[in-house]
Amino acid sequence: MKYFISVIAAVLLCITAVPRGSCKTLDQVQELDLHTAQQIALADNPSLAAAAERVEQARQRIEQAQALYWPSVDAGASAGYNKISQNSADILAMANNGQSIDRSSENYQLSLAASWLLFDGFSRNFSNLIAEYGKEESEQARRDAQRLLLQSVAESYYGAQLALYNKAIAQADFSFNSKQADDAKISMNAGAGSLSAVLNFQVQMNNASTELLVAERDYELALSGLALLLGRKSGKMPEGLKLNKVKMVAENDFFTIEPEQLLAAANTNRPDLLRQKFSLQRADSTIGAEEAAYYPVIALNGGVDGSRQDDFTFENDDFGASLFVNLSYNLFRGRGDAARIAEAKAAKREAARDLEQQRNQVQSEVRQAITRLEQAREQLVLQRASEKLVSQTRDLVEEGYKAGQESLARFNEAQRDLVRTQSRLALSLIALYTSRQRLKTATGESLLSFPVKEQN
């Protein structure tokens, strides 16, 4: 099963958004398929912008955590002017054997200080891990938003596809009844038919026209919803854009469903599950960061200071230097450290339970998606068989009606049965495509078609 082995083997490293330059814009597309629609949505949908900003915030928190490994260097300078009072100058002069005192003075100072944290009980290490795991959580949250967006695009796309099929069915029904009306007119003019038969087929043509209008309305509504998901502010698709109509699925195209492989794929690929895993790792690192309070803190400090009076032209003799190592160790803080560690451990237990709950939820979603897909397959097989039988019946009734062996009412009924069966067949086909997409969404496999380039 290469199809599912590739799903299980691939590990999603959730990164940033799909680069806009990697896909077409909607205005460049003439015939839209689902993959292109999803690609455009990932590039242009505005709902992903907030998630992208949260990823950027997390990335900057990593930079902040890594900055703690570097020394801190501060430079300072000051210049001052002081003028003492005349009385103070006289007193100083008397104390200085009558020598005159300069009442004005200027003071200049320069300083350069550096400090470097050498050891803090591994607090920096754990703070860096906390930031890293927080970034991964943000990226997985963004990736999960993309996963749900892909599903929404598929739902709208297949809704438009169903409307296309219903349009084709209504058009075929109209053409069939139009031909019957023409034949009835010929028969009536030849004296072998009746006006009621002509009117009957005209009524059926009107009914088909009504269904055609409904299908066209549904198609426009589906396209409008799809346009919004694709980032079209106007909510309208470009003029002349067509959808690439999905094809009928044969039974030999059904792939084998392996529940255990699909569950394993979901465990590897689902961003919401990966997010919970990173949340648990972040909680574990928080415990380490809090336990760092039990270790001493060692820091290296040094500086160069210069001072000069009445002249800002500094010389070597104006400078002094200092270098020392500080060690501090807290002996008692009112059991606050122990309480913070206990809180962090409780948060880790909570994260572990959340992870288990999320894993159960994902498995439930996958199993439900498998069941829906299996039911959709069975429905498609049954409806395809029914359509063949009803089509054959309609043709036989048509022959009987033309031979005078079947009534007009029976002919109408046979045609209506065919139209209803064709509509149910179209619905079953779209349900199969939709169920396939839901299974991809449930396992996270839908994201594998849209790898994204990591930005530094």
Give 133's pLDDT tier (boundaries 50, 70, 90).
confident
Query: Is 324 within the bounds of a domain?
Result: no
Per the confidence metrics, is the pTM higher than 0.85?
A: no
Query: Is 455 within the bounds of a domain?
Result: no
Q: Who has greater pLDDT, 144 or 54?
A: 144
pLDDT higher than 70, residue 456:
no
Q: What's the structural domain count of the chain?
A: 1
Query: Is 320 within the bounds of a domain?
Result: no
Query: Is 118 within the bounds of a domain?
Result: yes
Query: Is 313 within the bounds of a domain?
Result: no
Q: pLDDT tens across 303-341, in order?
A: 999 888 878 788 888 888 999 999 999 888 888 889 999
pLDDT for res 89: 67
Query: Is 310 within the bounds of a domain?
Result: no
- Between CA 22 and CA 108 the distance in angstroms is 59
First to last CA, the chain: 36
Contact 34/154 with Cβ under 8 angstroms? yes
Find the CATH number of the domain harbouring 200: 1.20.1600.10
* Residue range 4-29: mean pLDDT, rounded: 46
pLDDT higher than 80, residue 156:
yes
The average confidence (pLDDT) of the chain is: 86
Count CB atoms within 10 A of the CB of residue 32. 22
Contact 377/253 with Cβ under 8 angstroms? no
Question: What is the percentage of the chain residues whose pLDDT exceeds 70?
Answer: 92
Using a 10 angstrom Cβ sphere, with 0-12 exposed, 13-18 middle and 19 or more buried, the burial of residue 195 is exposed
Query: Is 370 within the bounds of a domain?
Result: yes
Give 25's pLDDT tier (boundaries 50, 70, 90).
confident
- Between CA 240 and CA 341 the distance in angstroms is 63
pLDDT for res 375: 95
pLDDT for res 217: 95
Domain that holds residue 222: 2-295+335-449
pLDDT for res 53: 80
SS3 105: strand
* Residue range 133-157: mean pLDDT, rounded: 92
pLDDT for res 18: 41
The amino acid at residue 412 is N
CA triple 13-440-258, angle to 5 deg: 105
pLDDT higher than 50, residue 21:
no
pLDDT higher than 60, residue 171:
yes
pLDDT higher than 70, residue 34:
yes
Query: Is 390 within the bounds of a domain?
Result: yes
pLDDT for res 23: 53
Q: pLDDT tens across 36-89, in order?
A: 999 999 988 887 777 778 778 878 888 888 888 889 999 999 988 887 777 776
pLDDT for res 10: 34
The amino acid at residue 177 is N
